[in-house]
Amino acid sequence: MRQAHEVDSRAKKLISAIFVNLATSFVNLRGRNTYFGAHLVDVLTLQVVTLRNQVDSFGLLVVILGRQVDKMLRQVGTM
């Protein structure tokens, strides 16, 4: 279980780094573009933030399900 938590933690850090790089790229694009480009970048940034929140929620769900499976396996092992 500890190993799964470490993998989950590393995955979250990697995903966060990817989103930070994307957001930085969007900000750089926004500084160089027209109003329409800036609006497009704002929309894309919002979608990236939403996607990151969904990924975080999915990661939490995987951890919770993993704990439930672990508990069930322990119960089966004690029977």
Q: Which residue has the tokens 């993998």?
A: 7
Task: Please say whether the beta carbons of 5 and 60 come within 8 A.
Answer: no
For the chain, the helix, strand and coil percentages under 3-state DSSP, each to the nearest 5? 95, 0, 5
Q: From first to last of its 79 residues, what are the pLDDT tens digits of the chain?
A: 566 666 667 777 777 777 777 777 766 666 665 666 667 777 777 777 778 788 878 878 888 888 888 888 888 887 6
Give the domain ranges of the chain. 2-78
Token code pair at residue 10? 């590393």
- pTM (2 d.p.): 0.42
